[in-house]
Structures are given as C-alpha cells and as structure tokens.
Amino acid sequence: MQKQRIFISGVAGFLGSHLADAFLADGHEVIGIDNMIGGYMDNVPAGVEFHQVDCNDFAWLKEHLKGVDIVYHCAATAYEGLSVFSPHMITQNIVTASTAMISAAVANKCRRFVMCSSMARYGTNKIPFTEDLTPKPQDPYGIGKYMSELLLQNLADTHGMEWVVAVPHNIIGPRQKYDDPYRNVASIFINMMLQGRQPYIYGDGTQMRCFSFVSDDVAPLKQMAFDPECNRQVFNIGPDDEFITINDLAVVTARLLNFPLEIKYTKGRPQEVHLANCSADKARSLLAYNPKVKLEEGLQQMIDWIKARGVRPFKYHLELEIVNEKTPDTWSKRLF
C-alpha cells in the first residue's frame, strides 16, 4: 500500500496512541496533536511528528493539515457524566473542536475523515444499539458527539470529502488515563484498589455495559481509512457479549487483585443511561470484527500496566461549572 500521511488528534491519549503505533508499523507517516488534558506524554509513540496543540486552534490546523491524506479525530473530553455539570467546557471541546478539525480537513482536500464518536449518541434506546437507530442522546456529551457527526456528514458531503463515523465503546487497556476522577470506571477501580481504598459506585451498581479491549478495536479502525465500502458509514466497534453490571465489574477487578471488596455506594449521576450495549453485527459483517481479548484478560493487562507505571493520586484537573445538590460527592467533595 502506498505510504499515506495520517493525522491523529488525541495522539497522546489512549486510542490515538495505539492507532499511531499501528500506522507507523505499516510504514505510514503520522502527525499527531494533543492538548494533554487526557493523555500522557509517554504514550506518544516514537516516530510520530508530535505537536502539543488544541483542536480548537483552527488556524494551526488549517496550516498543518496540508498534504494530509487521512484524518482520525480521536481527541475528545470524553466525560459523559461530567458533561451535565461542565457543559460549556465539554461542548467547546467536542463540537467546536470537531468543527475546526473538519473545516481544516475540507480546506486542505484531505481524502477521508474518520471521526471517533461515542455510544452516548444512542442515549436510552432499545438494546443492543444498532447503527440504524435514531440517536437519542440524553446528556451534553452525547448531544455534542451526535452534533459533530451531523456536521461532518454535512460538510464532507457538501465539499466532496469521504467520511466514516466509528462508535467505539468502553475501551479499556494499557495507556488509559487512570488518575482521572471523572471517567474510565475500570481504571478508577484498579487505581483505587491498588491504593488499598474501596471503590465508589454511583447509584445501585446495576447499570450494565460491555467493555472493549483496545487491541481488538485497532484493526477495524485502520480498515476505515482505506476500504471504499466504509465511506459514508457508521460502525459500532466493540463486543456485544460479556454484558456486565458495574457491581460485577468491581467484583471481577477485586478478585484479580485479591482485594477485600466493600463497595461504597453514592448517589446516582443525572442522565446516566442504565443499559448500554452496542450490536457488533455490522462490524462483523463488513470489517471482519472478531474480538479476541476477554474482559478478565483485558483487566489483568491494565492491572499489570498500572502496577508497572505506578499508582497515582487522582487529579481534579477540570472545573465543575455547575455545583448543586445533584453534583456527585466524589467530585464536589473530592472523595477520590
């Protein structure tokens, strides 16, 4: 395959860094940016042309997307629960940032734009979520993600750029930010238990999710860059089996760590979807999606990586714009 110049936003983050590794291994040129809100510098693979830049910097993007063939927009302040209490910040870093990325890509005649969306787009819908469902996002983050998809489709179709929307969900694995108190439930559980502290669960813990190991998502995401059949398509990426409650996730994590679990329950988060599970049938059919890493194996790899890197205190690095009786105590009182 001819060498391509691939631009990845969020390249110091979890998914972006793994994608960069894969494209570099295939001999492509990778340029990446990150504002470091959700990434670690040591995530950035050697060989990436890295710039610490925010996706909202349209002038910089317009200049530096010259000669880029494919854009992956992985960067996001992916804070579904927090978006109810910091909607301005989340919307700016989802909708406005996506618009800057899309506009710069169109202006530079990039061939294809792959947007990483979120299953938050579906909201409370019948499960499993299929790509043909009408999205019903129920929090500012999901609304922003779906709005960004619509902007991509509108601008790309108007100006002749190919587009793909990927909907990866609940990705876990090494390089995920684990000192963030606002997101990444599996990482939070592991970091707290390794510190000898009991985890908090919002509500009664019967919420259900499926978790996707990052290596299983990279191959289908890579295919979206080149496969003609992927153009103008939306794909769920992630397993639809091992549907598990948050309570059971805590139990499994504690067992792997040999940790004496005594869950602390706290009030539920407003607008949290209770049952969220995406069908992988379309990805199986068109992308040969076949996840190989089961949940326990994935959690063990995360545990090993966090142990090797070292447990860390949680950093309350984002401002709460709205603080009231509905704000989770874990955030307003900094319980982590």
Eight-state DSSP code of residue 295: H
pLDDT (mean) for 91-117? 98
Percent of the chain with pLDDT over 70: 100
In this predicted structure, what is the pLDDT of residue 242? 92
In this predicted structure, what is the pLDDT of residue 15? 97
Per DSSP bridges, beta strands 200-202 and 112-116 are unpaired
Q: Is the dihedral of CA 89, 95, 98, 102 positive or negative?
A: negative
Beta bridge partners of 167: 236
Residue 332 has pLDDT above 90, yes or no: yes
- For every residue of 165-215, DSSP letters joined together read EEEE-SEESTT---S-TTS-HHHHHHHHHHTT-PPEEETTS--EE--EEHH
Selected from 1.10.287.130, 3.40.50.720, 2.60.40.790, 3.40.50.970, the CATH number assigned to the domain covering 5-172+212-237 reads: 3.40.50.720
Look over the chain and give the mean of its residue pLDDT values, rounded to a whole number: 97
User: Which CATH number describes the domain made up of 185-209+241-315?
Assistant: 3.90.25.10
Contact 21, 46 (CB under 8 A): no
Residue 311 has pLDDT above 80, yes or no: yes
Residue 184 — left, alpha, or beta (φ > 0 → left; ψ -120 to 50 → alpha)? left
pLDDT, tens only, 228-250: 999 999 999 999 999 999 999 99
**CA 219 to CA 290: how far, in whole Å?**
10
Overall pTM surpassing 0.85 (yes/no): yes
Three-state DSSP class for residue 297: helix
Burial of 262 (0-12, 13-18, 19+ CB in 10 A): exposed
Residue 41 has pLDDT above 80, yes or no: yes
Residues present in the chain in total? 336
> Domain spans of the chain?
5-172+212-237, 185-209+241-315
In this predicted structure, what is the pLDDT of residue 1? 74
pLDDT, tens only, 173-223: 999 999 999 999 999 999 999 999 999 999 999 999 999 999 999 999 999
pLDDT (mean) for 303-332? 97
Three-state DSSP class for residue 129: strand
Three-state DSSP class for residue 80: coil
